[in-house]
Amino acid sequence: MADDAAPLSDDDALLATLGYKQELSRSWSSFSNFAISFSIISILAGCFTTFGQAWNNGGPVAISWGWPIISAFILIIGLTMSELVSAYPTSGGIYWWASKMGGPGAGFFTGWLNLIGLLAVTASVGYGAATFLDLTLDTLSASWAKHSGLKTVFAIFVVIMVLAALANIFSGHLLAVLNNISVWWHVAGAAIIIAVLIIIPDKHQSASFVFTDRINNSGYADNKYWFLVMPLGLLLTQYTITGFDASAHLSEETQGAAKGAAQGIWRSIFYSAIGGYVLLLAFVFAVQDPKAVTKGGGAVDLIFGQALPQKWHVLILLISTAGQLFCATACLTSASRMTFAFSRDRGIPGSRLLSNVNPRTRIPANAVTFVTVIGILITLPALVEVDVNGAPVPVAFYAVTSVAVIGLYLAFAIPIFLRWRMRDGFEPGSWTLGSKYKWMNIVAVAEIAVICVYFILPFTPTAIPGNKGFSFKYVNYAPVLTIGSLVILAIWWFASARHWFTGPKHTIDEAVTEAFES
């Protein structure tokens, strides 16, 4: 923390006008800020772990056409958020913006949606990393494969979450270094994987297959392809390109945050969209036996097993797994900072404990532990084995990813809409959209509304009560967690929280804040 007698930097002065003293270590560069969002988006994670969702629900068309179209919408969402973080660069990020523009109620609901989404995305990335580490070990060792299973994957997941927590608690500077390394790992790793899939396979699919072939392995009738099946496959893109709000949550630790955090959001989306698209096309062109991939549940690893000798297969798995471990660590960082900030404003039970910052490391260690434990608990349904149309499908994993997408994007929608409603009453920061916000904010909110409806729908007919073969193990529990949470939050707000939650609380004297604003 800066000495009270010393002059404040521009960052600390701007933070003071927002009501906060500098508690966290401002050791992150603009590149590090970009790096954490790029690491959380992680094309080495989402493109691998949710590939099967797009393959089963749409096939190549959902990938080759779905990815660029949805990416464009997400970039619009990111640009609107860049303008907001430039004006309000605080760790609270999304919920702070909503509170500032819409009052305590908007901030309360936004904060909880954002927290739910961040908890889910951290858990889903950690579980995905565990799945791919298990796959890598299976490929390397036949003896390991004999003992592999859901319990083994879950145990690996717990170990990954604990190790990520320790890395987060140890040092903020270490995290910045890890995220910088992660950027280059993702760039070089994706380039190597693309080159391998172009050079090594004996044959490749035609452009006609990649851009026109449709697959429906969902169990729904083919006449529902365009309006139900393929939209469910778009979870691949919407889930992969998320978590970029990390640039906002780390803004109090970023130098030149008003510009650096804004650029971190939109640049991480833009470069991930391009890199991810090339990577996914390489996957689909490398498919040797489409029917076998479909029979195996659309798992991307089946493509590598068909197209590559073992050594190249293992190399790709190792690159992806390492990228996913970087991603899990970064997700935990972002979620813990949001937990810290929301607790600092008394929005979470146990706020005094969760907002505590270690005076030596200046890390919110209790918030890190909280995110780790909750992430493990909400992933417990992944221990139940599920198959759809005879193929193993990780329904619980896709449900957690749906919760992540819905929670995060609904949280994004609230301040984006509030900024549009304010019109010229909004005071922009150094990075602004100008008059383009008038159409971009509306497009962003509309896209979020549509995808949230689709991602609470059942992934398969056997998840619908009354249908043949119905079982609770097939149920997409995303609506239970999201809608259920909203109902609980509404009851809590009207019964209690509205009487004591007043939005962001100042951690410096209001007279000091007013002095900086004048």
pLDDT tens digits, 141-186? 777 767 777 888 899 999 999 999 998 887 666 777 887 888 899 9
pLDDT tens digits, 74-94? 999 999 999 999 998 887 778
Query: What does DSSP assign to residue 222?
Result: G
The answer to whether 228 touches 457, Cβ cutoff 8 Å, is yes
* Cα–Cα nearest to 162, from 103, 190, 122, 200: 122
Instruction: Write the single-letter amino acid at 62.
Output: A
d(CA 446, CA 440): 10
Relative to beta strand 215-216, strand 57-58 is antiparallel
d(CA 372, CA 380): 13
The answer to whether 115 touches 310, Cβ cutoff 8 Å, is no
Tokens of 390: 């005879």
The answer to whether 39 touches 228, Cβ cutoff 8 Å, is no
Mean pLDDT of the chain: 87
Tokens of 72: 């464009």
The answer to whether 125 touches 328, Cβ cutoff 8 Å, is yes
How many Cβ atoms are within 10 Å of 146's Cβ, its own excluded?
9
What band does 381 get if pLDDT is binned at 50, 70 and 90? confident
The answer to whether 211 touches 295, Cβ cutoff 8 Å, is no
**Residue whose entry in the numeric block shows the structure tokens 């919760």:** 403
What band does 252 get if pLDDT is binned at 50, 70 and 90? confident
What band does 6 get if pLDDT is binned at 50, 70 and 90? low
Give the 3-state secondary structure of residue 102.
Answer: helix
d(CA 95, CA 471): 37
The answer to whether 50 touches 239, Cβ cutoff 8 Å, is yes
Q: What pTM was computed for the model?
A: 0.86
d(CA 122, CA 433): 30
How many Cβ atoms are within 10 Å of 4's Cβ, its own excluded?
7
* Cα–Cα nearest to 408, from 82, 80, 117, 46: 117
Instruction: Give the per-residue pLDDT at 397.
Output: 72
The answer to whether 405 touches 235, Cβ cutoff 8 Å, is yes
d(CA 34, CA 469): 46
Beta bridge partner(s), residue 216: 57
Q: Which residues contact 199 (CB under 8 A, 6 or more apart)?
A: none
Tokens of 188: 């070089």
Instruction: Give the per-residue pLDDT at 394.
Output: 63
Beta bridge partner(s), residue 88: none
Q: Is 504 left (phi over 0), alpha (psi -120 to 50) or beta?
A: beta
Domains and CATH numbers, the chain: 27-502 (1.20.1740.10)
Work out the burial of residue 430: count CB atoms within 10 Å of its CB; fewer than 13 is exposed, 13-18 middle, 19 or more buried: exposed
Res 20 pLDDT > 90: no
Tokens of 403: 């919760």
Instruction: Give the per-residue pLDDT at 433.
Output: 95
* Cα–Cα nearest to 324, from 36, 40, 50, 38: 40
Instruction: Write the single-letter amino acid at 308.
Output: L
Instruction: Give the per-residue pLDDT at 514.
Output: 53
**What angle in degrees, to the nearest 10, is found between the helix axes of 172-199 and 257-285?**
30
pLDDT tens digits, 475-508? 777 787 778 888 999 999 999 999 988 887 766 6
Tokens of 257: 């945050």
User: Who wins on pLDDT, 198 or 171?
Assistant: 198
d(CA 257, CA 72): 25
d(CA 508, CA 461): 55
Query: What does DSSP assign to residue 252?
Result: G
For the chain, the helix, strand and coil percentages under 3-state DSSP, each to the nearest 5:
75, 0, 25
Instruction: Give the per-residue pLDDT at 185.
Output: 94
What band does 367 get if pLDDT is binned at 50, 70 and 90? very high
Res 240 pLDDT > 80: yes
Instruction: Give the per-residue pLDDT at 512.
Output: 47
Query: What does DSSP assign to residue 224?
Result: G
Ranges 12-26, 95-109, 197-211: which has the least confidence: 12-26
What band does 231 get if pLDDT is binned at 50, 70 and 90? very high
Q: How far is CA 390 from the centre of its chain?
A: 30
Q: Which residues contact 22 (CB under 8 A, 6 or more apart)?
A: 1, 2, 8, 11, 12, 15, 252
Res 205 pLDDT > 90: yes
Q: 237-246, 329-338, 417-426, 481-490: which has the highest mean pLDDT?
A: 417-426
The answer to whether 437 touches 466, Cβ cutoff 8 Å, is no
Instruction: Write the single-letter amino acid at 97.
Output: W
Percent of the chain predicted with pLDDT > 70: 92
* Cα–Cα nearest to 473, from 382, 378, 386: 386
